[in-house]
Amino acid sequence: MNDPLIGATLVAREDLAKRVQELGEEISHDYAGREIVLVGVLKGAVFFVADLMRHLEVHCSIDFMAVASYGSSTDSSGVVRILKDLDISIEGKDVLIIEDIVDSGLTLNYLLRTLRARNPASLEVCALLTKPDRRKVDLPIRYVGFEIPNEFAIGYGLDHEERYRNLPYVAALTDGS
């Protein structure tokens, strides 16, 4: 795609594929003999969860939540509203939240508190990307794909104003100059 807003590659297509496979193997090993409920956070995690699930060798189901953070588009406020809740009950289940990116951590912090209150047997997080420099709350992220620098990332599900989710790799958004 020829677009001046698409900047340097942060994670190449083949590195995504390789890491997603590794995460799938690690999760399959850790959950051997158990069944996982994958909770994908819409919309950014859709590509990641679909690819990851194909590398899982344990029984698993998938459900989705959509949340919106109040505040500006580049800084989340930590006040989160549920736009779409889970269809299935997670009580007594082994739940794995699948996130595209953890930035300040405020959205994930809210999700963890909300889902923990529903008494799952276990609750863990798998995030494709994290920006450690931006973290405002310390969170237990069990599985991380890649740590990236403090840049706005697009592609492989990540958007800027709903665009660029279809890029098959992760790039930095530029200011267009």
Catalytic residues: 103
Please report, as residue ranges, which positions from 64 to 83 form the binding site for ligand IMP (by CB under 6 A).
69, 76
Q: Dihedral, CA atoms, 87, 90, 95, 96, nearest 10 degrees?
A: 20
Question: Could you tell me where the beta strands, DSSP code E, fall in the chain?
Answer: 6-11, 36-42, 60-69, 80-84, 94-102, 122-130, 143-147, 153-154, 170-173
Binding region for ligand IMP (CB under 6 A) out of 23-31, 47-55, 99-107, 116-124: 99-107
Using the contact rule CB under 6 A, the part of the chain among 7-15, 46-54, 102-110, 115-123 near ligand IMP is 102-110
In terms of Cβ atoms closer than 10 Å to its own Cβ (0-12, 13-18, 19+), residue 44 is: buried
Q: Are 169 and 9 in contact (CB under 8 A)?
A: yes
Size of the site for ligand IMP (CB under 6 A): 16
The residues that touch Mg ion, with contacts defined as CB under 5 A, are 44
- The residue among 90 and 148 lying less far from ligand IMP, judged by its C-beta, is 148
Interaction between residue 145 and ligand IMP (CB under 6 A): no
Selected from 106, 112, 128, 167, the binder of ligand IMP by CB under 6 A is 106
Enumerate binding residues for ligand IMP (CB under 6 A).
44, 69, 76, 99-108, 152-153, 158
